[in-house]
Amino acid sequence: MISCSLYIHIPFCASFCDYCDFYSVNVNDTNDDYINSFLTSLVFDIKSQIEYFNVDKIKSCYIGGGTPSVLGKKIRFLLDALNKTPQFTPLEFSVEANPESITEDLLSICRGAGINRFSLGVQTFHEKSRIAVNRALYGEVLEDRLALASRYFPGMLSADLITGLPYQNELIVKDDIKRLLSFEPVHISLYSLSVEDGAPLKEKIKNKTVTIQDGDFSDSLWLEGRDELINEGFIHYEVSNFSLPGKECLHNIHYWQMKNWLGAGPSASGTIIDDNSGGAKRYTYLNDVDEYIKILREDQKKADKKPSFRAVNSEELDRDTLLKECILMGFRYLKGPDPNLFKKRFGSAVEECIGKTLEKWKDKDKMLFLNSFLYDAFTELDNGIY
């Protein structure tokens, strides 16, 4: 029996932001039957994974995407199915939403189903920056939706902001934070804009249709945002995450401490770790909703109803790979890797593996200079000093 977290990927969006390369299809190109088939396959996927991996407890659940809120009232089917699953006993139950698809119906269904963390993609309130990256919803409507969400989820609101967007400056970053704080979020993720290769923004920058901030200025905007959040009483507890005391995201802490998680839905990934050998199985669903529905439907018709994992890429992680991953993920988090789990998995304490690096970095900010810290840590590991 294992306990784990559950990530669910809802691969639909109503519009597409130019900086994003997540897997998602346009919900407006689908119809009710298609969404219903997807949700039926998804619920089967989750239940069969729970059985297959012998899960007795799901400790946290995060419904992300894509944009889960575009499911509207249909999200009830998924939430009800989860709540009827005996192993589903999460301390933290999160759903991601974009302000444009927030309605009172959606909020009330989510609240009624036990969602206790409502995570909003805000990014910026500044209209010129939103338009430059094709981020939907402008002006007062955006703030009206946030006000509505904060009425339904007082003390349970989480939000994302991005720095380094076109037209941003320090005043705008401060203004974004001030306006967001008026809705009383308890958790804020502050990301620095990164333009991945597959994202449309990459092409626009190349064609000079959009100009983004230069690297140093972009870094200074993020630091300005970080200082502002700390001044407002938020704790910087992970590379990009800030929370009020006691309001850290448990689900993400499970990732950073590399505890087991199931992943369901196209492009979702899960990792199940053998704590005794330090090895792990990782599986990642293909970026293909049609194929996902088809394969899961076929699996459902099989007599044993076991998942075939035909819609996934699977890999086995050996001890050394997992050890590096535990260090890489663990030091994103202020408290570092879970010491007991680390020792149990790898037979040595973190200090025994990267002692020289930890000594060198003992007075430096590991989260802020994570890449340099990891370079030292991996060099020490590769030299076999531990």
How distant, in Å, are the alpha carbons of 8, 19, 188, 192, 315 from that of 241?
21, 20, 6, 11, 29
Q: Minimum distance between the CB of residue 194 and ligand SF4, rounded to whole angstroms? A: 12
16 contributes a contact to ligand SF4 by CB under 6 A: yes
**Site string (115-134) toward ligand SF4, x via CB under 6 A:** ------x-------------
Please say which residue, 160 or 338, places its beta carbon nearer to ligand SF4.
160
20 contributes a contact to ligand SF4 by CB under 6 A: yes
| Angstrom distance (rounded) from CA 237 to CA 336 | 10
- Contacts for 103 with CB less than 8 Å, ≥ 6 apart: 72
| Angstrom distance (rounded) from CA 63 to CA 73 | 15
Q: Minimum distance between the CB of residue 62 and ligand SF4, rounded to whole angstroms? A: 14
Q: Which of residues 142-181 bind ligand SF4 (CB under 6 A)?
A: none
| Angstrom distance (rounded) from CA 156 to CA 178 | 18
13 contributes a contact to ligand SF4 by CB under 6 A: yes
CA-nearest of 141, 124, 96 to 19 is 124
Please say which residue, 16 or 138, places its beta carbon nearer to ligand SF4.
16
| Angstrom distance (rounded) from CA 254 to CA 90 | 12
24 contributes a contact to ligand SF4 by CB under 6 A: yes
22 contributes a contact to ligand SF4 by CB under 6 A: yes
How many positions of this chain bind ligand SF4 (CB under 6 A)? 11
Identify the bridge partners of residue 92 per DSSP, sorted by sequence position: 60
Two tokens at 376? 């030292």
Identify the sign of the CA torsion 18, 24, 28, 29: positive
Q: Choose the binding region for ligand SF4 from 65-73, 167-175, 217-225, 346-354 (rule: CB under 6 A).
A: 65-73
Q: Choose the binding region for ligand SF4 from 20-28, 196-204, 307-315, 365-373 (rule: CB under 6 A).
A: 20-28
Q: Minimum distance between the CB of residue 101 and ligand SF4, rounded to whole angstroms? A: 9
Q: Minimum distance between the CB of residue 352 and ligand SF4, rounded to whole angstroms? A: 41
Number of other CB atoms surrounding residue 281 within 10 Å: 16
17 contributes a contact to ligand SF4 by CB under 6 A: yes
Q: Choose the binding region for ligand SF4 from 15-23, 82-90, 189-197, 339-347 (rule: CB under 6 A).
A: 15-23
Strand pairing report for 269-274 and 12-13: unpaired
Q: Choose the binding region for ligand SF4 from 11-19, 124-132, 168-176, 354-362 (rule: CB under 6 A).
A: 11-19
Q: Minimum distance between the CB of residue 16 and ligand SF4, rounded to whole angstroms? A: 4
| Angstrom distance (rounded) from CA 103 to CA 151 | 12
CA dihedral 10, 160, 331, 234 (to 10 degrees): -140
Three-class SS of residue 285?
Answer: strand
Please say which residue, 13 or 221, places its beta carbon nearer to ligand SF4.
13
Q: Which segments within the chain are labelled E, that is strand?
A: 2-10, 12-13, 25-26, 55-65, 88-97, 117-123, 157-163, 187-192, 235-238, 241-243, 261-264, 269-274, 279-285, 312-317
65 contributes a contact to ligand SF4 by CB under 6 A: yes
Please say which residue, 98 or 260, places its beta carbon nearer to ligand SF4.
98
Please say which residue, 122 or 262, places its beta carbon nearer to ligand SF4.
122
Please say which residue, 13 or 374, places its beta carbon nearer to ligand SF4.
13
CA-nearest of 13, 90, 64, 95 to 263 is 64
Nearest position to ligand SF4, beta carbon: 20
Please say which residue, 176 or 299, places its beta carbon nearer to ligand SF4.
176
67 contributes a contact to ligand SF4 by CB under 6 A: yes
Please say which residue, 68 or 307, places its beta carbon nearer to ligand SF4.
68
Residue in 66, 166, 185, 270 binding ligand SF4, rule: CB under 6 A: 66
Binding site for ligand SF4 (CB under 6 A): 13, 16-17, 20, 22, 24, 65-67, 98, 121
